[in-house]
Amino acid sequence: MEKQNKIYIAGHRGMVGSAIRRNLESAGYTNIVTRTSGELDLRDQAAVQAFFAVEKPDYVFLAAAKVGGILANNTYRGEFLYDNLMIEANVIEAARVHEVKKLMFLGSSCIYPKLAEQPLTEDALLTGPLEPTNEPYAIAKITGIKLCDAYRHQYGCDFISVMPTNLYGPNDNYDLKSSHVLPALIRKFHEAKKNGTPEVVMWGTGSPKREFLHADDLAAACVFLMHNFSDYGFVNIGTGEDLAILELAQTIKSVVGYEGEITHDLTKPDGTPRKLMNVGKLHAMGWKHQIDLQEGIEKVYASLTNEEWY
């Protein structure tokens, strides 16, 4: 990518897209194209084709998606499958038709089998059953990867895929009905502290282990890979380190300064026992994350408490 190239960021207002935009702008990229979902419905094939015909971007970061945590994934199964299939198919096809130089598709670590060997290596894809609670979303993301590979094979398109681990950072979602675990816990502990609530209730046992990457680190990795990766398959993006959800809760409790108790609702699901990325492929290419979890949570919480954030 050259500084003057036109770059389209699909999903620029989300946590991932906004981080990629900040990274590019700070590096001197000025020709960035965006559209809100109100301006361009990526589920509408004709509208997407018309947008690409007018704008003719050179590079595309496909970070737009319908996303959510366990509750949202399991409740809106049809929407999560349909919306994500339509978004990725329309954007990838338009990028082919209008001869985009390179496209990056962003997936999710939920694509891996529920009981895949840990840490998760890229070749574990499609080797076992998925976690049932987010299977529709995972199937959509797997389809995006395979669509990029198929277009590379049939049309010679330089379309690549990356697989981020669990993310957090600016512009995260703090709605308790649809958020992921880290922002949900930040909100729960913040509200409990503010209201003097004696306990914070966690879903499940707290024993599943998760890996968390700051969105600014993800953006840095995405830009790095746009310059340095061009092949079939995909690249895991993560830290290579994980911790139990209960440990995460205790860390957030400490950062927030909440002094009550942590209790467990054992009627709620734990989800996948562990999702740790093997990031050996990424490290071998010369990239490693910079923001550790404690520091990242402190930065996020410090910014949130200074504004209306939900």
One-letter amino acid identity for 257? G
Whether the pLDDT of residue 248 is over 90: the answer is yes
**Strand (E) positions, the chain?**
7-10, 32-33, 59-62, 102-106, 159-164, 166-168, 199-203, 209-210, 212-214, 234-237, 243-244, 261-265, 274-275
Q: Can you tell me the mean pLDDT for 86-105?
A: 98
Enumerate the known binding-site residues for substrate.
Answer: 188, 203, 210, 270
pLDDT score of 306? 59
Whether the pLDDT of residue 216 is over 60: the answer is yes
Encode 138-179 in three state secondary structure: HHHHHHHHHHHHHHHHHHCCCEEEEEECEEECCCCCCCCCCC
Quote the CATH superfamily of domain 7-171+211-240+276-291.
NAD(P)-binding Rossmann-like Domain (3.40.50.720)
Dist CA 308 CA 52 (whole Å): 36
Tokens standing for residue 55 = 């704008």
pLDDT score of 305? 67
Better-predicted residue by pLDDT, 274 or 14: 14
Question: What residue segments make up the domains of the chain, in order of their start?
Answer: 7-171+211-240+276-291
Give CA 248 to chain center in angstroms: 18
- Told to judge if 174 belongs to the known catalytic residues of this protein, a careful annotator would answer no
> For the chain, what is the total number of helices (H) and then of strands (E)?
10, 13
Enumerate the known binding-site residues.
Answer: 11-17, 106-109, 141, 164-167, 180, 188, 203, 210, 270
Do the Cβ atoms of 41 and 47 come closer than 8 Å?
yes
Beta bridge partners of 9: 61
Of 137, 151, 258, 301, which one is the catalytic site residue?
A: 137
3-class state of residue 42 by DSSP: coil
Residue with tokens 């277009």: 151
pLDDT score of 301? 94
How confident is residue 155, by pLDDT bands cut at 50, 70 and 90?
very high
Of 139, 129, 258, whose CA–CA distance to 192 is shortest? 258
pTM > 0.85: yes or no:
yes
Dist CA 182 CA 239 (whole Å): 16
Which residues are CB-neighbours of 49 under 8 A, at least 6 positions away?
A: 90, 93, 94, 97
Encode pLDDT of 24-76 as tens digits.
999 999 999 999 999 999 999 999 999 999 999 999 999 999 877 777 778 88
pLDDT score of 109? 85
Q: Can you tell me the mean pLDDT for 140-159?
A: 98
Dist CA 247 CA 130 (whole Å): 25
Better-predicted residue by pLDDT, 269 or 140: 140
Of 170, 204, 247, 198, whose CA–CA distance to 69 is shortest? 204
pLDDT score of 162? 98
- Measured in degrees and rounded to the nearest 5, phi and psi for residue 244 equal -65, 150
